[in-house]
Structure 1
Amino acid sequence: MSGCIWKFSQYLDDEDLMFAHKVMVTYKLAGEYYGIGEKPMIRMAWASGAVYKIGKRVLIRRDIFEEYLRAHQKQVDKLIEGDEEKLLKIFEAKAKEEHENE
């Protein structure tokens, strides 16, 4: 195996290895692998800048998309691991704001 994937080989199955060989994937394949629905997959792929259109075919560049997922997971983890009271205040403020807009 090339790269660093061999370091995690005990955690990987055949599906992971086949997916790791692909540089570009379709919405459907990425959604099935990551367990994300089609609409959120499309939104996140475009937000990450990983979308490439080749004719009518739309492909996602896997390395850019995974970097985007990691960055956003870290933001969520920081909020969760941080001050719980601060997180609660943020959610309460958003709820009040949405309620006032109605």
Structure 2
Amino acid sequence: TSKEIGGEQNMSGNIWMYSYDIDEQDIDMLQRDFITFKQGAEYYKMGMKPFIRICRESGAVYKIGKMVRVNRHILEQHIRKLRLKEEK
């Protein structure tokens, strides 16, 4: 959701509203639709086993041969639902 124009990154959509909280790691993650378990666990600051459990609960895990990837959009939607349940 960012575009590079003339050497500068311009943000599109609603992400600009949170630009003060976003760093290079966030921008890199936002550009990916699928991530590995390792990338996700590091980004969300979780242990590997809890992260894998949440990914499987959400139905975001895709396996192609030996390669396993997590659909970040499905996972984040599931995490939002979990947070809403905790707030109630």
Query: Which residue is equivalent to 2:66?
Result: 56
Normalised by the size of structure 1, how large is the TM-score?
Answer: 0.72
Query: Which residue is equivalent to 1:20?
Result: 30
Structure-2 separation of matches of 1:4 and 1:23 = 18
Greater Cα radius of gyration, structure 1 or 2: 1
Q: Compute the displacement of 1:9 (Å).
A: 1.0
Q: Could you tell me which amino acid in structure 1 is paired with residue 14 of structure 2?
A: C
Q: Compute the displacement of 1:55 (Å).
A: 1.4
Structure 1 runs not aligned, ≥5 long? 79-102
- Aligned-residue Cα RMSD (Å) equals 1.0
Normalised by the size of structure 2, how large is the TM-score?
Answer: 0.83
Structure 1 segments (4+ residues) deviating >6 Å: none
Q: Compute the displacement of 1:44 (Å).
A: 0.7
Query: Which residue is equivalent to 1:67?
Result: 77
Query: Which residue is equivalent to 1:100?
Result: none
